[in-house]
Amino acid sequence: MDRNDFGTSRRALLQAAAAGAAAMMPGVAFAARAGDLAAIRRAAEQGRDAAIARIQAWIRNPTIAAEKSRIDEGVAAMSALAREAGFQTVRTVPTGGVPAVFATLDVGAPKWMGIYFMYDVKQFDPAEWSVPPLEARIVDRPGVGKVIMGRGAVNQKGPQGAFLAALHAFKTSGRTPPVNIALIAEGEEEIASPNFLNAIRDPQVTATMKKCVGVIIPTAGQSANGNATISLGAKGAVEMEIVSSSKSWGRGPAHDIHSSQFARVDSPAWRLVQALNTLIGPDGHTPAVEGFFDRVTPLTARQKALIAEAARKSNEADAKKALGVQRWINDESWEQSLIRLAEQPTINIQGLVGGYTGPGGKTILPHRATAKVEMRLVPDMTKDDSVAKLKAHLAKHGFPDVEVNVTGGYGPNQTPEDAALTKAQQAVLTRAGITWALNVRNAGSWPGVVFTGDPLRLPAGQFGLGTGAGAHAPDEYFVIESINPKIAGLTEQTMAYADLLYEVAAQG
């Protein structure tokens, strides 16, 4: 999952006992649920070490879609994890790319709940890490607590492991889940899910998923101060390489040549600079692609009010410190920065690579240069329309030969504030005594549009307690035992998933 760092409100977390929390619920259903949750909690506590070991083993088996590495191993591990957690059917679903895994746990309940997993992880450079990134070491992190550190720890194997731990706890405590569960696990999330819709379109997957009340992606959703966020949507993301080359230009050298020749031979690298320069406004961040904002739906008054509330309840200084940022774009306010996170579509340069990139210099005229770029989209922008506008813009500005090679992506997703799934999330968090806020839209992206869009049109959202850091970065970690009492450790995370299943079952 492509996380963002959205700071929310600060309030004490009450690690409410299931019995106490259940006092908020009426009648017979409540009594059964309270008893079940107590038994499940005991099982979760007994299964804690096994759950940690399960997450560690998963981290040690990294599937990296960008490098097409360990795909078979990733499918096998994902399938085994599902089977061991109690799923009765587990199937590999071809997508045309890295396959998906689909699993069902049908207990004969009236309702189905959808769960989205990703089993791939982002690339990493061990030289940048303080520990080997694939050992999944338990590390005492000062000021944080005990964490599992490794690639994929928080993004997304740790939270997914906590969800699986809940199913194990149902099983070992002899309790039947209150809903049927459909699990769809993707292996290409980190390359922007280029083929995931093909998995959804599989007839069995479509038919089963359509029965679901909604889809949850397990997430370590508490910020550093313990607050939780219920995201009502996420921006879309489209990954691409923008390439200037002599081959497509018909000018410049066919291969890298001596740089003195630039006196008389055209330069694809300068052409890339000039083409890129047309894509961004003079302020250095506003997309200048013609028509890019045509389909942008402004935030509603309600959405802006929610953001204003989030701004009041969260700490700007903490966010700036975590990001290493001294000032926001245009020296804007904290609230305005949060509005931008939700509302602003972007065209970001992830990387520039062309010609000689090693130490020192090398007197060459490169025949090719590339920018790795990603667009973030907001409702009602779409992937295809945005890419088409980008290409048309380049052509109109005299760069028809500059290639736009899209490698993956999807549009934005949005779920109504009053969806049953959203209400269930709110109830679970409130009962657990955790301060939560509605997040209008996550600036980070996940392929929720696969669920919120055609053919399923389901509510979809991220859910989970606990925290972590370092997604896509060195020293990624997932907290299993927090120094901060407001942050859930592994067992409380597990219990939140168990409670969510009951709440989804209970919601009208």
Which is closer to a copy of itself, CB of 100 or CB of 469? 469
Contact 345, 296 (CB under 8 A): yes
Q: Which CB, 183 or 279, lies closer to a copy of itself? A: 279
Question: In angstroms, what is the minimal distance from the CB of 337 to a copy of itself?
Answer: 4
Nearer to a copy of itself, 427 or 460 (CB): 460
- Kindly state the smallest distance separating residue 358's Cβ from a copy of itself, in Å: 6
Q: Side chain identity at 102, as an amino acid letter?
A: F
Closest CB 474 distance from a copy of itself, rounded Å = 9
Closest CA to 47 of 145, 164, 181, 222: 164
Q: Give the separation between CA 284 and CA 188, rounded to whole angstroms.
A: 31
DSSP assignment of 45-75 equals: HHTHHHHHHHHHHHHTS-BBGGGTBSHHHHH
State the nearest-atom distance from the C-beta of 287 to a copy of itself, in Å. 10
Indicate the residue among 266 and 481 with the shorter CB distance to a copy of itself: 266
Neighbours of 82 (CB within 10 A): 26
Measured CA to CA, the distance from residue 73 to residue 65 in angstroms comes to 12
Classify strands 413-414 and 100-105 as parallel, antiparallel or unpaired.
unpaired
CB of 45 to a copy of itself, least distance (A): 34
Instruction: Name the residue nearer to a copy of itself (CB basis): 28 or 127.
Output: 127
At position 99, the amino acid (one-letter code) is P
Beta-carbon neighbour count of residue 312 at 10 Å?
11
CB of 263 to a copy of itself, least distance (A): 4
User: 189, 1 in Cβ contact below 8 A?
Assistant: yes
Q: Which is nearer to a copy of itself, 79 or 346 (CB)?
A: 346
Contact 201, 101 (CB under 8 A): no
Using the minimum distance from each CB to a copy of itself, give the nearer residue, 86 or 287.
287
What angle is formed at CA 499 by the lines to CA 495 and CA 500, rounded to 5 degrees? 115
Closer to a copy of itself at the Cβ: 179 or 237? 237
CB contact at 8 A, 180 and 104: yes
Query: How near is the Cβ of 334 to a copy of itself at its closest, in Å?
Result: 10
Q: CB of 95: closest distance to a copy of itself in angstroms?
A: 17
CB of 129 to a copy of itself, least distance (A): 13
Provide the 3-class DSSP secondary structure of residue 275. helix
| Smallest separation, CB 320 to a copy of itself (Å) | 9
458 Cβ contact list (under 8 Å, min separation 6): 114, 209, 210, 212, 213, 214, 215, 451, 452
- Strands lying side by side in the sheet with 180-186: 89-93, 100-105, 180-186, 112-118, 212-218, 460-463
Give the residue with the Cβ less far from a copy of itself, 167 or 469. Answer: 469
Complex with a copy of itself: residue 110 or 326, whichever CB lies closer: 326
d(CA 21, CA 428): 9
Torsions phi, psi for 264 (to 5 deg): -135, 0
